[in-house]
Amino acid sequence: MPSPLAQPRALAPARRRLAAVSVGVAAAVVVAGCSSSSPKSDSSGSSSAAYTLTASTPAPVGDIDAVTWSVYSEPTTMDYAYGFDYPDNQVIANVCESLLRWNADLTYSPGLAEKVTHPNPTTWVYDLRAGVTFHDGTPLTAKDAVASMQRHLDPDVGSYWTSAYTNVKEIAATGPLQVTVTLTQPDAGFNDYMAAAPGVIESAATLEKLGADYGTSKGGVNCTGPFSFVSWTQGQSIVLKRFDNYWDKDLRAKAGTFTFVFLSDPSARINAFESGEVDGGWTLPATAYERLKSSAKGKLYFGLDSSVTVAIVTNLKGALGSVKARQALAYALDVPGVIKAGEYGVGIPAGSILPDSLWKAYAPDQAADIIAGQPKYTKDLAKAKALAQEAGIAGKEITIITANLGVTQEVVTQALAQAARDIGLTVKLNTLSPEKYSQAYSDESLRAGSDLLPGGWYTSTSDPVDVLLSLTKGNYSNYAGWEDAGFEAAFQAGLTAEDPATQRAEFVKAEKIVMEQLPWIPVYQTLTNVFLGSRITGVDVSVNYLYYPWAAKIGKAG
């Protein structure tokens, strides 16, 4: 069986996101332009970005008849088994619910499962809420949960989330409202996935009735969320309506209808905000930040994200085969310049392949020490050149995969190229079409002859497992075949440990080894962004919108 990230589930959203915020922007940007005047400070006093982090927007004063929301591209599906991209999940999250909830601060709380117990290292028991109904009025039962979860193990379904169920031996109804999952071995990450798409529960009868039409514009879905599915007009919109019998009275939808319109052209999206035709949207292009921050029609917000832009080393037999060569490249990279030119100052230098937000949610009492304890690679060209000389890489060539995706991709690529040249390497760019660039993450032939693949990496849980697993021996996403015995031992010890303190210590140890050896070179952490028109308010500003019914909180602004 493929290892847990055999399908680029965690990668795809971040990769698409990087494309989405940049498409349609002329990209005549060079690295020399990255080092202009210092950007403004954020709310924490950092000098790395012109933004203020916002946890939530003001509470609404009442209900609103209708909200129109823009999505940067049409969802490919509403089937939770295939939903792992931003357009898909931001819609699904408001209609379908998981056993657990991923909160705005990236912690977890009960969802459709009101109680979770873990009686032994290989058993998880989920007690479902009584009185929950699907949108067709039928009651939620353990049979529905079993059918929904087992789809991820069915090869005929081909779920994109099969990885979350790698260590699952059995899923059984052990009571009318109880489901027991038995694992083949302890798995520290399994329960966390129950707050995301792998934990979504759909009506067993609906799954059987709709078959291949489930989650499509023809069949729709029948879940338990605060909104129910009304229609999907391909190429135009998806319409949801408030579900009046929703079980969670505290999260009753404040909008009577919620319409998602598909606007792939960045300029058209921004113009729709300015005209009032559209009320809001996630994931705006960086080139529009200044315009939206000064808009009289609404407000642009920035909040927690779980993505890190990284330069993935794809070849350990070439110039970047030695640790010192990779460290030299990291020390030569102008990260603040990349953030300023590529993200218009909105970003955080990455001290890890895992975002700070994850550590703060995963280990709140230890996060500051964990983040501070990672190796630091702030720009130091003298150190970079000394390491490059020790590595003996002068005059060698590296190839960087890139694509014409816009200013962000261009800036990251050119910054890496300049850093490589500064340490004595020659650089070749392999520019792929946007489609082939996306395919390069799953098609080995498109990575052949390359040394670096820059892009975003997104984590779907608040657990290091989701990313660290990508670098384990033999993992599909471990493109260069990097191996380290210490990393493997620490990761496996963390994965199977029952004691949370041991789990954390081992995962931190594994992450530190990654940061010392740099099979991935972290560049910067991104931020979630959302624009709210002046009519609406109430949403939390967090990447949890991918799995939490965020639209239910939006209502009339005061």
Residues 6+ apart with CB under 8 A from 495: 186, 187, 188, 189, 465, 503
CA atoms within 13 A on the CB side of 217: 10
According to the model, what pLDDT value does residue 27 have? 28
Strand runs labelled E in 224-364: 227-233, 237-242, 255-262, 280-282, 298-303, 307-313, 348-349
Question: What pLDDT was estimated at residue 149?
Answer: 98
- Residue 38: per-residue pLDDT: 29
Planar angle of CA 311, 312, 318, nearest 5 degrees: 110
pLDDT for 163 equals: 87
pLDDT band at 85 (very low <50, low <70, confident <90, very high): confident
Enumerate the H helices of 194-260 as residue ranges: 204-210
Give me 525's structure tokens.
Answer: 């952490």
pLDDT tier for residue 405 given thresholds of 50, 70 and 90: confident
With bands split at pLDDT 50, 70 and 90, how would you rate the model's confidence at 337? very high
Query: In this model, does residue 306 exceed pLDDT 90?
Result: yes
In this prediction, residue 435 carries a pLDDT of 82
Q: Would you say residue 146 has pLDDT above 90?
A: yes
Please check whether residue 85 is in contact with residue 74, taking contact to mean a CB–CB distance below 8 angstroms: no
pLDDT at 189: 92
Q: Report pTM.
A: 0.87
544, pLDDT greater than 80 = yes
Q: What is the pLDDT of residues 310-335, one digit of tens each?
A: 999 999 999 999 999 999 999 999 99
The predicted structure's pLDDT at residue 2: 22
At 458 the pLDDT is: 83
The pLDDT score that the predictor gives to residue 140 is: 98
Calculate mean pLDDT across residues 385-414.
Answer: 95
d(CA 490, CA 513): 9
β-bridge partners, 71: 262
Model confidence pLDDT, tens digit, residues 21-74: 333 332 223 232 232 222 333 333 333 347 899 999 999 999 999 999 999 999
% of the chain beyond a pLDDT of 90? 85
Task: Taking each helix axis as running N to C, give the angle between helix 500-517 and helix 323-332, from 0 to 180 degrees, rounded to the nearest 10.
Answer: 80
Beta partners for residue 168, in sequence order = 183
Q: How far is CA 38 from CA 132, 340, 413, in A?
A: 53, 9, 22
Instruction: Indicate the DSSP class of residue 48.
Output: S
State both tokens at 544. 């949890």
Amino acid in the structure at residue 343 = E
Residues 86-132: tens digit of each pLDDT = 999 999 999 999 999 999 999 999 999 999 999 999 999 999 999 99
Average pLDDT for residues 505-515, to the nearest whole number? 97
**pLDDT at 5 (0 to 100):** 22
Query: What are the DSSP calls for 95-125, one per residue?
Result: T--BSEEE-TTS-EEESSEEEEEEEETTEEE
Cα of 4 vs its chain's centroid, Å: 16
Q: What is the mean pLDDT of the chain?
A: 90
